[in-house]
């Protein structure tokens, strides 16, 4: 009998030590019917020196508008996929960001956009790559998810599908912005690809294009379903046909109701090589580490060590928000049904 009791106590102890529970005192359990949205507008040289008051105001207003659009969907009882789409649409329509209108140029002087969306409940996902006639690429990604058996369509095929489903198509001239073209001219011929907001030296010249960024959103709706999406023009001076991490499920975008939703921004190739978003989710699911620790591990010990730069936003299954970046800053914000509303741009609070 004594032996049995000892075995029972030992089993209880082992269960209590199960590392699958999230270890973080700040983690709050989800309130019934609560909802939240977190967004980003790209990472890079987002510093106070690089942004005057007027620019800071323009960015924070647009980020707020995007969060409000997503939040309104959730408040009405809408689903997280629609909320993510609504928030991303606002940023795609703004030339402030490197997605939709205002996308960056590739080495040939063309704009080729990528986008993806994922449903954390079903693990269904949709994405488009290398498109330049779809006004809002995130809508086309959703069509791929909802109406095909595929996950990723590229170029002409993606555009044909979008048109067939009545998505707004535009002449590629719609995406033009003078500033983006200047950004390309500065780096063209230098065999250098550039992250949106980064400032860097070529010879003695400081190439200081820090004003635009890839966009992303993650939402959790009243039913506790998580969705994540990302939309981008990629990186300035990227090679023709180059596809980055943003439309690749598990790299730039991932959502899983068991863990969290994630959207990434940064030098895409490094997020691809580390399967970044899925890696964070796996660390949470299988190692039992907190979202904060998982993000830090991938951003700094994996991506950073390889030479990559950028950041990620994350919303966990309880509606807790986390983010991390190894760039100077990242445009970001979140809004929750408990009244919290935050917009930030610069370095992280220690």
Catalytic residues: 214
How many residues of this chain bind ligand ASP (CB under 6 A)?
17
Region from 57-65, 73-81, 232-240, 326-334 binding ligand ASP, contact rule CB under 6 A: 232-240
Query: What angle, 0 to 180 degrees and rounded to 10, lies between the N-to-C axes of helices 80-92 and 53-75?
Result: 150
Under rule CB under 6 A, residue 253 binds ligand ASP = no
State the greatest distance between any 2 C-alpha atoms of the chain, in Å, as a whole number: 81
CB of 214 to ligand ASP, least distance (A): 3
Tell me which of 89, 106, 246, 257 binds ligand ASP, using CB under 6 A. Answer: 246
Within positions 49 to 108, which residues make up the interface with ligand ASP, using CB under 6 A?
98
Tell me which of 119, 196, 209, 324 binds ligand ASP, using CB under 6 A. Answer: 196
Region from 85-93, 146-154, 218-226, 264-272 binding ligand ASP, contact rule CB under 6 A: 264-272
Tell me which of 42, 130, 319, 329 binds ligand ASP, using CB under 6 A. Answer: 42
Under rule CB under 6 A, residue 41 binds ligand ASP = no
Identify which of residues 77 and 241 has a Cβ nearer to ligand ASP in the complex.
241
Residue appearing with tokens 């969705």: 227
Tell me which of 80, 232, 253, 274 binds ligand ASP, using CB under 6 A. Answer: 232
Give DSSP secondary structure letters for 203-235. Answer: TTEEEE--S---EEEEEE-TT--EEEEEEE---
Identify which of residues 196 and 328 has a Cβ nearer to ligand ASP in the complex.
196
What's the CA gap between 293 and 288, in Å, rounded? 10
State which residue has the least CB distance to ligand ASP.
Answer: 268
Under rule CB under 6 A, residue 281 binds ligand ASP = no
For residue 37, give the nearest of 346, 329, 324, 320 by alpha carbon: 320
Helices (H), ranges, the chain: 2-16, 53-75, 80-92, 137-147, 155-164, 178-187, 268-273, 276-282, 291-296, 305-306
Region from 29-37, 262-270, 297-305, 320-328 binding ligand ASP, contact rule CB under 6 A: 262-270
Q: Is 42 left (phi over 0), alpha (psi -120 to 50) or beta?
A: left
Tell me which of 112, 245, 309, 328 binds ligand ASP, using CB under 6 A. Answer: 245
Strand-strand pairing, 226-232 and 113-119: antiparallel
What's the CA gap between 91 and 260, in Å, rounded? 22
Tell me which of 213, 229, 329, 333 binds ligand ASP, using CB under 6 A. Answer: 213
Tokens of 277: 């978003």
DSSP annotation of 236 reads B
What's the CA gap between 121 and 317, in Å, rounded? 11
Under rule CB under 6 A, residue 268 binds ligand ASP = yes
Identify which of residues 130 and 234 has a Cβ nearer to ligand ASP in the complex.
234
Contact 215, 231 (CB under 8 A): yes
Under rule CB under 6 A, residue 214 binds ligand ASP = yes
CB of 205 to ligand ASP, least distance (A): 22
Identify which of residues 98 and 281 has a Cβ nearer to ligand ASP in the complex.
98
Helix (H, G, I), strand (E, B), or coil: what is residue 143? helix
Interface residues toward ligand ASP, by CB under 6 A:
42, 98, 195-196, 213-214, 232, 234-235, 244-246, 252, 265-266, 268, 310
């Amino acid at each position: 009998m004594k032996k049995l009791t000892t075995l029972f106590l030992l089993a209880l102890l082992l269960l209590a030590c199960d590392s699958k529970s999230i270890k973080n005192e700040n983690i709050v359990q989800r309130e019934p019917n609560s909802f939240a949205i977190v967004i980003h507008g790209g990472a890079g040289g987002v510093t106070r020196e690089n942004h005057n008051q007027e620019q800071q105001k323009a960015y924070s207003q647009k980020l707020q508008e995007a969060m409000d659009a997503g939040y309104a969907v959730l408040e009405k009882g809408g689903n997280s996929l629609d909320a993510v789409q609504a928030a991303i649409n606002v940023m795609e329509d703004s030339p402030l960001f490197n997605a939709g209108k205002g996308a960056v140029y590739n080495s040939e002087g063309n704009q080729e956009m990528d986008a993806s969306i994922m449903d954390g409940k079903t693990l269904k996902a949709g994405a488009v790559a290398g498109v330049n006639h779809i006004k809002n690429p995130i809508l086309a990604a959703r069509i791929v998810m909802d109406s095909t058996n595929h996950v990723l369509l590229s170029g002409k095929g993606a555009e044909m599908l979008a048109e067939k489903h009545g998505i707004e198509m535009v002449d590629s001239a719609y995406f033009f912005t003078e500033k983006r073209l200047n950004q390309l001219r500065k780096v063209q011929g230098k065999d250098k690809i550039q992250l949106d907001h980064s400032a860097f030296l070529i010879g003695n010249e400081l190439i200081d294009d820090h004003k635009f960024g890839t966009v992303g959103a993650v939402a959790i709706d009243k039913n506790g379903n998580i969705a994540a999406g990302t939309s981008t023009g990629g990186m300035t001076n990227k090679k023709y046909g180059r596809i980055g991490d943003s439309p690749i499920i598990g790299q730039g975008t991932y959502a899983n109701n068991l863990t969290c939703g994630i959207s990434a921004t940064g030098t895409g190739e490094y997020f691809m090589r580390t399967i970044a978003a899925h890696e964070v989710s796996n660390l949470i699911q299988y190692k039992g580490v907190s979202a904060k620790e998982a993000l830090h591990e991938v951003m700094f010990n994996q991506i950073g060590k390889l030479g990559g730069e950028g950041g990620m936003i994350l919303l966990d299954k309880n509606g807790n928000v986390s983010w991390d970046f190894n760039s100077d800053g990242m445009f970001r914000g979140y809004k929750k049904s408990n009244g919290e509303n935050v917009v930030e741009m610069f370095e992280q609070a220690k």
